Structure 1
Amino acid sequence: MSSVPQNVIKHKVGLLNLATELGNVSRACKVMGFSRDTFYRYQTAMEAGGVDALIDANRK
C-alpha cells in the first residue's frame, strides 16, 4: 500500500477516534474540517468493512 492511501486512512480514522474521544460528532467534524454526513459515511464504511473500506469511502 502506498503512503497516500495510508495518510487518507489515518485522517479518516482520526476523525472517528476524535468523535469517540470528545463524545461529540459535531465538534469533531468542526475541528477536523469534515461534514457530519462525511463522518457518518466513514463510520458506516468502517462498520461494514473495517479500515480497508475507508480507502474507497468517497471514490465512487
Structure 2
Amino acid sequence: MAFRRRIYLSIEELQVDLDAWIVTYNNDRTHQGKMCCGRTPMQTLIDGKEAWHDKITTLNS
C-alpha cells in the first residue's frame, strides 16, 4: 500500500523508499504481536538479546 503512491522509474528509486520504510517499521512503529507486546521490533530484538545473555551467563556460572 505504501508504495502505490508513486510510480518508480528505477529500482534505485524504489530501494530508497523501501530502506526508509524498513527503518520506520523496525524502529519507530510499535507492534502488538505476541513477542513485541507494544515494543518496536528493534527493541524486542535488543531485549531478547539481553535476556539470552543473562540466561547464558546464569547457566554457565
State if a TM-score over 0.5 links the two structures. no
Q: Could you say which structure has the larger radius of gyration?
A: 2
Structure with bigger helix share is 1
Asked which structure has the greater RCO (Cα within 8 Å, sep 6+), the reply is 1
